[in-house]
């Protein structure tokens, strides 16, 4: 089940919106993390930098086969053997990962989906107790150059409320500013 479309720009434009290594560090991803799951990896924007940091495998999921091919190619070009990119409908089928098997889950620019509780439930299921969930989304501001339409774009407080309702607790007590166009939350299971 494809999430509500938000208009993925071309790769060069997409890359201009982020500082992936800095974003991952601000959202709590560290070398102490073993396995990681990236829900909707897209161009591998965060999966590839995460694989350079963690001690285990980055499980990168996307419903678009082209995005999986791009992520695999980038991992190969970087000499990374710890990226497992899987073409999968993780919204309808889940990730297929065992319960409590990962240290970090990335829900980046995806909670505008119709049922964010499904993704948060799967994140809860696969995370080991005491491990982290990173949420990032576009600022709730129509002046951003891309992102979901304002009609489906979640406000920061919505993302937080959904995560808390799923059973997560705040790891970092404040919303994290991820300039120029994003915000984030770090939560713990």
Residue 145 falls inside a structural domain: yes
The domain that contains 71 carries what CATH number? 3.40.50.150
Q: Which residues span the domain enclosing 141?
A: 14-188
How far is Cα 60 from Cα 75, in angstroms, rounded to an integer? 11
- The answer to whether the CB of 146 falls within 8 A of the CB of 17 is yes
Distances (CA, A) of 24 to 128, 149, 155, 184: 19, 25, 21, 10
Output the tens digit of pLDDT for each of the chain's 189 residues: 445 455 555 667 767 788 999 999 999 999 999 999 999 999 999 999 999 999 999 999 999 999 999 999 999 999 999 999 999 999 999 999 999 999 999 999 999 999 999 999 999 999 999 999 999 999 999 999 888 999 999 999 999 999 999 999 999 899 999 999 999 999 999
Around Cβ 140, how many Cβ atoms within 10 Å?
16
Q: What is the pTM of this model?
A: 0.93
How far is Cα 187 from Cα 39, in angstroms, rounded to an integer? 16
Residue 53's SS3 state is: coil
Joined tokens for residue 74: 């980038």
Residue 148's SS3 state is: coil
Residue 82 falls inside a structural domain: yes
Residue 3 falls inside a structural domain: no
């Amino acid at each position: 089940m494809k999430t509500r479309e938000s208009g993925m720009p071309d790769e060069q434009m997409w890359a201009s919106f982020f500082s992936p290594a800095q974003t991952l560090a601000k959202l709590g991803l560290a070398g102490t993390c073993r396995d990681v799951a990236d829900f909707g990896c897209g161009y591998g924007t965060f999966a590839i930098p995460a694989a350079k940091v963690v001690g285990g495998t980055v499980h990168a999921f996307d419903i678009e086969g082209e995005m999986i091919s791009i992520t695999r190619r980038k991992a190969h070009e970087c000499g990374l053997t710890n990226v497992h990119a899987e073409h999968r409908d993780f919204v309808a089928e889940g990730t297929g990962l065992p319960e409590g098997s990962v240290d970090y889950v990335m829900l980046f620019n995806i909670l505008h989906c119709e049922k964010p509780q499904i993704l948060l439930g799967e994140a809860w299921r696969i995370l080991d107790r005491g491990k982290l969930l990173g949420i990032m989304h576009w600022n709730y501001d129509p002046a951003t150059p891309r992102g979901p339409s304002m009609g489906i774009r979640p406000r920061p407080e919505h993302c937080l409320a959904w995560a808390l309702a799923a059973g997560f607790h705040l790891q970092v007590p404040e919303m994290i500013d991820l300039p120029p166009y994003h915000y984030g939350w770090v939560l713990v299971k």
